[in-house]
A and B are shown apart, each in its own frame.
Chain A
Amino acid sequence: MTHVETEQAKGEAAPRPGLYMHVPFCASTCDFCAFYQIKPTPGMIERYFDGVERELELIQPARTYGTVFWGGGTPGLLTAGQLRRLGGLVEKYLGGRRATEWTVELAPGSVTSERLEALREIGVTRVSLGVQSFQPRLLDALGRQHNRGQIDRAYERVRSAGFASVNLDLMFALPGQEEAEWLADIDTAVGLQPDHLSTYCLTFEEDTALWVKLSQGRVKLDPEREAQLYEATWARLAERGFAQYEVSNFARPGHACVHNLNTWHMHEWVGIGPSAASQHDGWRGQNVSDLEAWAAAVDRGERLTAEKTCLSPALLAEDALIFGLRMNAGVDLARWQAVSPAAPWGGVNALLDRMVADGLALREGTRVRLTDRGRLLADSIGAEVMAAFTAEEVVR
């Protein structure tokens, strides 16, 4: 196995469930943001803590959590004391062990020694810094609140605090961004020597400020340019020693994000907090995206779940393929055939063969994975996989 596959195999065997906690607070709203987030007041933060405590109690999974991920919003808006308190709530559910991996997303502007110290103390192993760009002009355009100096200082502090793994989030295909500028951003990021990089192509999500601009024609979509940027990114990072293991994720050996791999392998995770998504105990769903409604519900001893879906073996297999193919090591079909022998594998195999024939995918033994060209088309491929599983499309 290549090291990428070894990495991925970490997540492939059924692990302890992940714990995702959504911290729904932000100081202001970024232009491209589609997350549930609000400007906090002291009262709200209290409400949030009470809710988290209640919700964790409500679930009590048979097993303890293996990985923890604090995302947002901006977990870094919480004070060191609040972070400790939140950590304390989680600790009860780790079964006396340390989490295998405990990630916290931080905006560079919120990185202080006090906070980092608190995070180290509670057992956080991985910090993900929302850098997005090193270009002041583009940061500004994104409505981001930090500057280059803050990024460097934040990175310095995180590193010296001694976290096992540090990730930088970067964005490309920003309006007005030149390819050279983007590659320079990659180089700057690599120069900092992080362990992991996430590079996101700017996407336009409904209800965001950017979407509004796009629909007014002020920003243009250009799939060809985006494709080129993707390819340039992949090539540059490979040269720099970062192996791609998913469409947008690159790691140095040993640093792939276990929590996310766990998700893409269709294992279980519990989402805590307003708008957090969960998948465990045979269903998938999302908490209500409203702090007050969520808190009131968990107070009553109930989780307000939107779009609750039952997970059949066939649906899991379908999703394992759709989301698994986004990973460079692909999917082990044998495993899913065992999980769901009744799924329409004939049609699925025919699709995969056709993808192989057209240079979109590769098959080795029972594994199937996408080529670079295929990975750029992962959504269309996902739709085809979905069609093959629902077998509504009759192939003449």
Chain B
Amino acid sequence: MSSVPLTRNFCIIAHVDHGKTTLSDRLLEYTNTVSHRVLTAQHLDSMDLERERGITIKSHPVTMTYPAKDGQIYKLNLMDTPGHVDFSYEVSRSLAACEGALLLIDAAQGVEAQTVANAHLAFAQKLKVIPVINKIDLPSANLELCLKQLEDILTISSEEAILASGKSGIGIVDILEAVVSRVPAPRWTDYPQPRALVFDSLYDSYRGVIAYARVFSGSYKAGDMMMLMNTGQRAEIKEVGVFTPKMMKVDVLGAGDVGYFVSSIKTPSEIKTGDTITLANKAATDMLPGYKEVRPMVFCGLYPVETSDYEKLKAALGRLQLNDAAFVYSSESSLALGFGFRCGFLGLLHMEIIQERVRREHDVDIISTYPSVVYHIVTHGGAIAQIDNPVLLPDPGTILEIREPTIKASIHIPNDSMGDILALVMEKRGVVEHTDTLDAHRVMLTCMLPLNEILVDFNDRLKSITHGYGSMDYELSDYLVSDLVKMEILVNNDPVDAFASIVHRDKAEGKGRALCEKLAEIIPPQMFKVAIQAAIGGKIIARDNVKEMRKDVTSKCYGGDISRKRKLLDKQKEGKKKMKQFGKVSIPSDAFIKVLKTN
């Protein structure tokens, strides 16, 4: 029996665009938590990047008050969850803070890859899953199919489904009632000591790190000495509060509550998502389950286009990290690109988001190097080194084997693109483990793929082959031995470290040729002869030549033209300084991005 029978903690999980944001807004509106006007304004000016990409990175919990049909007034805590596989650990922590989940399915789209992945995450957290077929107002809604998929793919009884439309406000009361009646009251409330699960945090320049947490047992108030169980770190609680959705100070946070903690902790890395907050004077002995150190999976170098922007970039990365403990960086330098930073991300999307933020919110023009995963290098001595930068790969003679991270992916596709997708998976060195029929038109492939192979263009190609209908979700799997080599690109016989990559031996030549070709195409015509080569350990495996400049001469150049001419040449010279110099070759800074994008 729960000691807090009138609280429900739940979240909404869905595939991108299935209507999570719209439905959340509708629930807040219905419970008068926020007026429609405020809601729109608020959502528009915060995190436009997330909205553009249809994902949520920061969790925005909110507490609603709902007078249910049973005559009782309930406190409903709605947890928002990040919507992308890169953030699956964060998702799992948000889910762990709940007892139930609304699983949205777009009535016109049916179950998609993320729907399945999210449902499984929710099952794993032992959440009560409430299926909601959303967007039933759409003329293309196919209820019958959705209900069947629910049973066949998710093994949820179709009886349980609620039909709704966030847009038209259909089914809102049904949903709220289901949350009250089907989601269990807060669990683990009778654990003898206080425990609260950190599911996110926010950095505030005045108040330090604000931890978002779900209290399972005990109570917390300002003045208490809290303790983080993972590190043993103690800190005085300065303030506790709830989300309305604005932060609102309260006197006490008790079992079942979702709220925030302001403490004397100023360093974001000291409060980690998944950690348990207890109180120092009656410390719990067991942490709440599921804590994990998150490790960045994808690395790349980020460099300012203008060398003078180095400090600005450093400050930008520092500020971004304050609110994103999963993002790491350290300084590095490159012969080709100068001084910059090695950055680690949870995944490709995470990488893109950070890069985009640096550009947009911090207004620094950056170049990124070829992304890399973390390889495990086993040397003859038996030591295992973790390498995230191809440039740092030790001498091949000392390497016993190289292991690369793999993923287990589930790919949902229309039947008719099966052939092309299988070819794509093969090309990416993947192995299809099994195929499952989703319905008359769709199948799900479960496959193993090297993480490295899906970094750059896998998703784009999946989308283009399936005309946008394909979707993919993945989880990390094992490190496996693979025949990998370091491929270098030489411009004018100089290795360009920014283009170095670790590739599978069988693919080196093809990749090398494609890279050389692309670079030869992108580098503007040069007056000197410039060769572009791909090499493995000094052996040239592909080559191309930059186009030779044909004509660049001003016809007339007399006395009066000399000063003018000098100015033009000076401009030309300065223009070249803005490009990256390789010996005497100028490469426009966006060449790197173009190459990365097209490869």
Interface set of A (CB-CB < 8 Å, partner B): 18, 20, 22, 200-203, 223-224, 226-227, 230, 247-248, 260, 263-264, 269, 271, 275-279, 284-286, 307, 309, 319, 322-323, 326, 354-355, 358, 360, 375-384, 386-387, 390, 392-393, 395-396
Q: Are A379 and B569 in contact (CB under 8 A)?
A: yes
**Binary CB contact string for chain B from 524 to 556 against chain A (1 if under 8 A, 0 otherwise):** 000111000000000000000000011111111
Across-interface contacts of B554 in A (CB, < 8 A): 203, 378-379
Closest chain B residue to A200 by CB distance? B555
CB distance from A355 to the nearest CB of B (A): 8
Interface centre among B528, B560, B577 (most CB of A within 10 A): B560
Q: How far is the CB of A268 from chain B (nearest CB, A)?
A: 10
Are A284 and B553 in contact, with the CB atoms below 8 A?
Answer: no
Chain A residue contacts of B570, Cβ below 8 A = 383, 386
Q: Which of B563, B576, B583 sits near A383, CB closer than 8 Å? A: B576
Residues of A within 8 A of B550 (CB): 223-224, 227, 376
Instruction: Provide the bound-state CA to CA distance between A271 and B552, in Å.
Output: 28
B552 touches A377 (CB 8 A): yes
Q: Does B565 contact A (CB under 8 A)?
A: yes
Nearest A residue to B525, CB-CB = A223
What separation, in Å, do the CA atoms of A91 and B434 have in the docked complex?
99
| B264: min CB distance to chain A, Å | 50
Whether B551 and A396, one on each chain, are in contact in the complex, defined by CB atoms closer than 8 angstroms, is no
Chain A CB within 8 A of B401 CB: no
- Point out the residue from A200, A279, A285, A354 that lies within 8 Å of B528, measured CB to CB: A354
B236 CB-CB contact with A under 8 Å = no
Instruction: List 24 A-B pairs, Cβ < 8 Å.
Output: A18-B559, A22-B560, A202-B555, A203-B556, A224-B550, A227-B550, A230-B551, A230-B553, A279-B559, A285-B563, A319-B562, A326-B557, A358-B529, A360-B528, A376-B553, A377-B552, A379-B572, A380-B549, A383-B569, A386-B569, A387-B573, A395-B584, A396-B335, A396-B583
Question: How many residues of B sit at the interface, in one of the four size bands?
Answer: 20 to 34
Interface string of B502-527 (1 = CB under 8 A from A): 00000000000000000000000001
Q: Give CA–CA (A127, B528) in the complex, Å.
A: 40
Contact of A269 among B557, B559, B572, B584 (CB under 8 A): B559
Q: Mark B576-591, 1 if CB is under 8 A from A, else 0.
A: 1100010110000000
Query: For the complex, what is the distance from the CA of A125 to the CA of B549, rounded to whole Å?
Result: 40
Contact partner of B559 (CB less than 8 A), chosen from A20, A226, A227, A322, is A20
Q: Is B206 positioned at the interface, with any CB of A under 8 Å from its CB?
A: no
CB pair A223 B572 closer than 8 Å: no
Is B559 in contact with A263, judged by CB distance below 8 angstroms? yes
Contact, CB under 8 Å: B562 / A277? yes
CB distance from A290 to the nearest CB of B (A): 15
Number of residue pairs A-B, CB distance < 8 angstroms: 118
CA distance A16 to B496 in the complex (A): 53
Residues of chain B within 8 A (CB-CB) of A360 are: 527-528
Question: Once bound together, how far apart are the Cα atoms of A307 and B554, in whole Å?
Answer: 21
Tell me the bound Cα distance from A313 to B463 in angstroms: 64
6 closest pairs, A vs B, by CB? A227-B551, A277-B560, A378-B553, A201-B555, A383-B572, A227-B550
- In chain B, what residue has the closest Cβ to A284? B563
In the bound assembly, the distance between CA atoms of A387 and B570 in angstroms comes to 9
CB <8 Å contact, A248 and B556? yes
Please determine whether A379 and B552 come into contact, CB atoms closer than 8 angstroms. Answer: yes
A259 to B: closest C-beta gap in Å: 9
- Per the bound structure, the CA–CA distance linking A395 and B583 in Å amounts to 6
B271 → chain A, closest Cβ, in Å? 46
- Cα distance A141–B576 when bound, in Å? 36
Interface of B (DSSP majority class): loop
CB of A127, distance to nearest CB on chain B (Å): 17
Query: Whole-angstrom distance between the alpha carbons of A269 and B562 in the complex?
Result: 12
Q: Could you say which of B529, B549, B558 has the most chain A C-beta atoms within 10 Å of its C-beta?
A: B558
Residues of chain A within 8 A of B565, CB atoms compared: 322-323, 382
Q: A276 to chain B: which residues have CB within 8 Å?
A: 560
Contact, CB under 8 Å: B551 / A224:
yes
CA distance A114 to B190 in the complex (A): 118
Contacts of A358 in B (CB 8 A): 527-529
Interface of B toward A, CB cutoff 8 Å: 335, 494, 527-529, 549-563, 565-566, 568-570, 572-573, 576-577, 581, 583-584
Q: Which of A202, A275, A354 contacts B584 (CB 8 A)?
A: A354
Contact A223 B562 (CB under 8 A): no
A387 to chain B, nearest CB (A): 5
Closest beta carbon of chain A to B470's beta carbon, Å: 40
Complex CA–CA separation, A358 to B585 (angstroms): 14
User: Which residue from B527, B562, B573, B576 sits with its C-beta under 8 Å from A377?
Assistant: B527
The reply to whether A248 and B569 contact each other, CB–CB distance below 8 Å, is no
**B576 adjacent to A307 (CB under 8 Å):** no
User: Which among A202, A269, A326, A376 is the interface contact of B551 at CB below 8 angstroms?
Assistant: A376
A279 touching B562 in the complex, CB below 8 Å, given contacts A382-B569, A386-B573: yes
A224 vs B525: C-alpha distance when bound (angstroms): 12
Report yes or no: A375 in contact with B553, Cβ–Cβ below 8 A.
yes
Give B528's nearest chain A residue, CB to CB: A358
Tell me the complex Cα distance, A360–B572, Å: 19
Pick the most buried of B527, B561, B563: most chain A CB atoms within 10 A of its CB: B527
Q: Which residue of A lies closest to B494 (CB)?
A: A396
**Most chain A CB neighbours (cut-off 10 Å) among B529, B555, B556:** B555
Q: How far is the CB of B578 from chain A (nearest CB, A)?
A: 13
CA distance A377 to B569 in the complex (A): 12
Q: What B residues does A20 contact at CB under 8 A? A: 559-560
Q: Is the CB of A377 within 8 A of B572?
A: no
Contact A226 B551 (CB under 8 A): yes
* A203 near B551: Cβ-Cβ < 8 Å: no
Docked CA distance A276–B560 (Å):
7
Is the CB–CB distance between A286 and B551 below 8 Å? no
Contacts of B572 in A (CB 8 A): 379-380, 383
Name the one of B556, B560, B569, B573 contacting A275, with C-beta atoms under 8 angstroms.
B560
Taking the nearest CB of chain B, how far is it from the CB of A240, in angstroms?
20
**B577 contacts A392, C-beta separation under 8 Å:** yes
Whether B566 and A319, one on each chain, are in contact in the complex, defined by CB atoms closer than 8 angstroms, is yes
Q: Are A247 and B560 in contact (CB under 8 A)?
A: no
Q: Are A381 and B527 in contact (CB under 8 A)?
A: yes
- Complexed CA–CA distance, A248 and B553 (Å): 10
**Which of B569, B570, B576 has most chain A Cβ within 10 Å?**
B569
Contact A309 B563, CB 8 Å, known A248-B556, A354-B584, A380-B572 = yes
Select one of A200, A377, A386 contacting B549, CB under 8 A.
A377
Whether B560 pairs with A380 at a CB distance below 8 angstroms is no
B568 partner residues in chain A, CB cutoff 8 A: 379
- Please give me the residue from chain B that is nearest to A374 by CB atom: B527
Q: How far is the CA of A271 from the CA of B561 in the complex (A)?
A: 12
Q: Which residues of A contact B577 (CB under 8 A)?
A: 392-393
Measured CA separation A383–B565 after assembly (Å) = 10
Asked whether A379 and B560 contact (CB < 8 A) given A386-B570, A387-B573, the answer is: no
Least CB distance from A35 to B in Å reads 8
Residues of A within 8 A of B566 (CB): 319, 322, 386
> Which A residues touch B556, using CB under 8 A?
200, 203, 248
Could you say which residues of chain B place their CB within 8 Å of the CB of A390? 573
How many angstroms between the C-alpha atoms of A319 and B564 in the bound complex? 12
Known: A224-B550, A381-B527, A392-B577. Contact between A284 and B555, CB under 8 A?
A: no
Partner of A380, one of B494, B552, B555, B558: B552
Q: Which B residues are in CB contact (< 8 Å) with A278?
A: 559
Q: How far is the CB of A329 from chain B (nearest CB, A)?
A: 16
Shortest CB distance A264–B (Å)? 8
**Beta-carbon nearest neighbor of A35 in chain B:** B560
List chain B residues, Cβ under 8 A from A260.
558-559
| In the complex, chain A residues whose CB is within 8 Å of the CB of B562 | 263, 277, 279, 284, 319, 323
Closest A residue by C-beta to B335: A396
